[in-house]
Amino acid sequence: MTMVSWASFIKSFRLDQELTQKEAAELLKVSQPTLSRWESGRQVPDMRTRRRIQRLVDSHAGLRNRLAREVVARSLCAQALLDQDLRIRAVSARFAELFGCEPGELETRSLEGPHPLGTVAQEALEAAQRAGLGQGELALVECLGETLNAEGRRLYLRQLWIPVIIEGGHLRIRVEVLPVTRDYYEGRRSAGTRVQVLSLWQQAEAVDMRAAAPATRRLTSF
């Protein structure tokens, strides 16, 4: 990392953990003035200290990741946990049942193969990234998609994407899935809104995904 990126990395970790500079300095076993110089970019930690900081950040992210997996796995609703590459990291029993699979069959599934959430998954991720997902901004994505389950049955799904970990470069997204009727799905599609994003950057972004004009994406704020 460069001097600037280390400064941002350390400050982001401290703010994510809701620590004061004094508390963070004690955690990292350095003085508060030293931490202040790191965060301002006036000084860079030595290699040994960088490794200690990285291990600390990874351990905190690991704990939150395991908690996020448990929350999803124990949910009574149809939920999945995705990483930033849209690989499935955990699913609830209801989610697996909906797609006609065992939970273990879905984990690590990515967009490189058939993805349970359908092609809209990539569109939803791109819309969320434009709205600040992954840069410390809260974003809630609502989207509609269609896909086939393991038995070949077509599913129409309303999905809510909720970021649950944005820390030290780690991102996890909890996806809640609700089956909807074909009429509901087609009605929303014909209205031109299949993906909506709410974030701190903008109140709402509606992405035009009408089948009649698949190459056109009209962005509107309302």
Q: pTM for the complete prediction?
A: 0.60
pLDDT tens for 52-69 read 888 877 777 666 777 788
Q: Do 55 and 95 belong together in one domain?
A: no
Distance between CA atoms of residues 147 and 119, nearest Å? 8
Q: State the residue range of the domain holding 154.
A: 76-220
Helices of type H across the chain: 3-16, 21-28, 32-40, 47-73, 93-98, 103-106, 120-130, 182-191
pLDDT tens for 24-34 read 899 888 999 99
For the beta carbon of residue 27, count every other beta carbon within 10 angstroms: 15
Per-residue pLDDT of the chain (222 residues; tens, 9 = 90+): 555 578 877 887 787 677 899 988 998 889 999 999 999 889 989 888 888 888 877 777 666 777 788 889 899 999 988 887 778 888 899 998 988 888 777 766 654 455 667 666 777 777 777 766 655 555 678 888 888 887 888 889 888 888 775 555 567 788 899 999 999 988 888 776 667 777 655 444 444 443 333 322 333 222
Q: Report yes or no on 71 lying in a domain.
A: no
Predicted confidence at residue 33, as pLDDT, reads 94
Dihedrals φ, ψ of 194, to 5°? -105, -25
Predicted confidence at residue 116, as pLDDT, reads 67
Distance between CA atoms of residues 41 and 162, nearest Å? 32
Q: Do 59 and 86 belong together in one domain?
A: no
Q: Do 97 and 39 belong together in one domain?
A: no
Q: Do 43 and 19 belong together in one domain?
A: yes
Q: Do 178 and 100 belong together in one domain?
A: yes
DSSP conformation letters of 22-33? HHHHHHHTS-HH
Task: Tell which of 19, 40, 66 closes a domain.
Answer: 66
Q: Do 154 and 117 belong together in one domain?
A: yes
